[in-house]
Structure 1
Amino acid sequence: MKYRRFGKTNFNASEVSLGTWQLGSKWGDPFDEKDAQATLEAAYDAGVNFFDTADVYQDGESQRALAKFIKGKEDKVFISTKVGRRLNPHVASGYNKKNITKYVEDCLTNLDVDALDNVLLHCPPTEVFYNPEPFFTLDKLKKEGKIRNYGVSVEKVEEGMKALDFDISSVEIIYNMFRLRPTDNFFRMAKEHDVGIIARVPLASGLLSGKYTLDTKFGKNDHRTTNRKGEEFDAGETFSGVDFATGVKAASELKERLNAGDKLAQMALRYILMSDAVSTVIPGASKPEQIERNVIAADEPAFTPEQMEIVRDVYDKYIKNPVQYKW
């Protein structure tokens, strides 16, 4: 495993880390504590020291599993946790001092720690980025010692740019072979502000594994079944906002032109790490055997200029319109 400085936090994060939305379960399936602990330990044994979670993941079970896992490892790992998506309805006015403070207190309880390493506002409505109250509340919680760093998880590039007006340490953003716009200006701006970048949805909900066909079926409660048009949350979270049939076709062309064989997923993760603005990439895993497939991406060969051009060409051909203009 290789490590990169995580912006102004100065923590050296594993290049390939672990996102815990799926921890101990597939999307929509019951949580399995045994699988969760085995997955976390497998990641740690492989050199992963950065874990991304949220208070809504499995209704707090993800955080509570991490609480058990980190005992005795507190000084060796970094937990980044998101807050805000427990709001119902999920509206800008809910991102106020009272709610944010309550969510942070609940995270402290769930993770069983005295201070949170990093707190991210969890993809709040765009209006929130123009309201200083949530960010001033996080400043206050930082001064009180309840959080050490804070930032935002965003849907849109513009939201990440606006967040740089505040004292953030990190931005979590969708970046992958099907979502290239962050490289246009945002990554440069983040580096200038010494803000760490967490690349999320790195495989476009599995499209970039190259294993899906038009006949692939997902579980009835899986967001890849229920959220294709944004029925439950932002459509950009599912397949990075790419139409499924288009994504299958684009992934197939990438697989062929890159001579990826059965390694398109690893190559997709390695592509993300080609940007020195990225601090860490957070593929998910629900079982320990999936960890090795993720972490070996850091050891894949660097992309050649020709391979980089292939990715851009496929993006321009299939994905750019309309994805780039929405997010």
Structure 2
Amino acid sequence: MNYRKLGKTGIMVSEIGFGAWAIGGTWGEVNDDESRKALREAVENGINFFDTADVYGDGRSERLVGELKKDYGDQIHIATKAGRRLNPHTAEGYNYENILNFTKRSLKNLNVKEIELLQLHCPPWEVYYNPDLFESLEKLREEGLILNYGVSVEKVEEAIKASEYKGISTVQIIFNMFRQRPSDYFLELAEKRNIGVIARVPLASGLLTGKFNGSEEFEIGDHRRFNRNGEAFDRGETFSGVDFERGVQTVKDLKKYIPAGFSMTEFALKWILMHKQISTVITGAKTSNQIRENANSSTKPDLNEETMMKVKEIYDEKIKAMVHQYW
């Protein structure tokens, strides 16, 4: 496993991180014992960065990651997110009192005295124009409840605006072969401002594993079934906003350029890591085999320029019109 610096935090994190949404729920049936096994398998494969949120399984994911922290201590680093528990989820709800209460709940779930990285969880657009809220995050840091803070965003414009606040250490954003817009401008801006970039949804909800044929029937509790059109949350979170059938067909085109010795998953993850501004890529996984495959991508050989250009050409021809102007 290779490691990179996570922006202003100064923390050296594994290029491949662990996204803990799947072990909380909304990805079909999940078993806590299997999740614990997967988390430990991640550590054994050099993964030291774990990203979770208070709404993943209503604290279930945080508690499982907290158990891991108890066993491995400073060997691992945990980031969590807050804000999506607001009901209704409005900009007005993003204030010191609510974020403080969410933070205290996450501290309890994680069983830690301080949160290493607290991220606002895809808040409404107006939040990014509320300097008082970011002063509240600074206050939480001064009070010793959090060590660093950042944002998880839906849109590139939100990432750019958030990066203007000097206290922001990280930005988490969707970035993958099907969502390439961050590389147009934002990644260079983040590097200039010493902001760590956490790439999420790296496999487009499984599309970029190359394991789907288009006839899949997802479980009722799986967001890949109930959120394809944004029925529950931003549709860009499911299959990266790409039409499922179009995505399956486009992956067939990408497979023609998989380097020797790579799986499609490793190819997709290595493509992200070819962008030096990315600090870590958070991959979801339920099984040990998935963990090992994800981790392997860190030490795979770099992709050549021709391959990177082919991926860009396929994106421009097949996917760009569906996603680029929205996020």
Q: In structure 1, what is the equivalent of residue 109 of structure 2?
A: 110
Q: In structure 2, what is the equivalent of residue 42 of structure 1?
A: 41
Q: In structure 2, what is the equivalent of residue 82 of structure 1?
A: 81
Q: In structure 1, what is the equivalent of residue 57 of structure 2?
A: 58
| Partner Cα distance (1:86, 1:73) in 2 | 28
| Partner Cα distance (1:221, 1:284) in 2 | 16
Kept in 2, the 8 Å contact 1:22–1:285? The answer is: yes
Q: Which amino acid aligns with 2:169?
A: S
Q: In structure 1, what is the equivalent of residue 222 of structure 2?
A: 222
Shift of 1:130: 0.8
Shift of 1:71: 1.3
Q: In structure 1, what is the equivalent of residue 256 of structure 2?
A: 256
| Partner Cα distance (2:289, 2:49) in 1 | 18
Shift of 1:85: 0.9
| Partner Cα distance (1:151, 1:25) in 2 | 24
| Partner Cα distance (2:93, 2:174) in 1 | 24
Deviation per CA, 1:20-49: give whole Å up to 9, x if none. 0112767132x4221121111110111111
Identity among equivalent pairs (%): 48
| Partner Cα distance (2:200, 2:130) in 1 | 25
Kept in 2, the 8 Å contact 1:170–1:195? The answer is: yes
Q: In structure 1, what is the equivalent of residue 200 of structure 2?
A: 200
Deviates more, 1:166-175 or 1:31-40: 31-40
1:170 correspondence with 2:170: yes
1:161 correspondence with 2:157: no
Q: In structure 2, what is the equivalent of residue 317 of structure 1?
A: 317
SS in 2 for 1:165: coil
SS in 1 for 2:199: strand
Shift of 1:214: 2.0
Kept in 1, the 8 Å contact 2:5–2:13? The answer is: yes
SS in 1 for 2:283: coil
SS in 2 for 1:71: helix
Shift of 1:258: 3.4
Question: Cα 1:36–1:62, aligned 2, differ >3 Å: closer, same or farther?
Answer: same
| Partner Cα distance (2:153, 2:115) in 1 | 20
SS in 2 for 1:79: strand
Q: Which amino acid aligns with 1:230?
A: G
Compute the TM-score of the two structures, normalised by the length of structure 2.
Answer: 0.97
Moved over 2 A (4+): 257-262
| Partner Cα distance (2:215, 2:65) in 1 | 36
Kept in 2, the 8 Å contact 1:25–1:32? The answer is: no
Q: In structure 1, what is the equivalent of residue 5 of structure 2?
A: 5
| Partner Cα distance (2:284, 2:122) in 1 | 18
| Partner Cα distance (1:17, 1:157) in 2 | 22
Q: In structure 1, what is the equivalent of residue 125 of structure 2?
A: 126
Shift of 1:135: 1.0
Q: In structure 1, what is the equivalent of residue 138 of structure 2?
A: 139
Compute the TM-score of the two structures, normalised by the length of structure 1.
Answer: 0.97
| Partner Cα distance (1:243, 1:49) in 2 | 33
Question: Cα 1:72–1:227, aligned 2, differ >3 Å: closer, same or farther?
Answer: closer
Q: In structure 2, what is the equivalent of residue 211 of structure 1?
A: 211
Q: In structure 2, what is the equivalent of residue 273 of structure 1?
A: 273
| Partner Cα distance (2:320, 2:289) in 1 | 34
Aligned residues: 326
Q: Which amino acid aligns with 1:140?
A: K
Q: Which amino acid aligns with 1:286?
A: K
Kept in 2, the 8 Å contact 1:19–1:285? The answer is: yes
| CA RMSD, 1 decimal | 1.4
Deviates more, 1:282-291 or 1:99-108: 282-291
Question: Cα 1:99–1:24, aligned 2, differ >3 Å: closer, same or farther?
Answer: closer
Deviates more, 1:220-229 or 1:256-265: 256-265
Shift of 1:103: 0.3
- Unaligned 5+ segments in structure 1 are none
Kept in 2, the 8 Å contact 1:24–1:36? The answer is: no
Shift of 1:105: 0.7
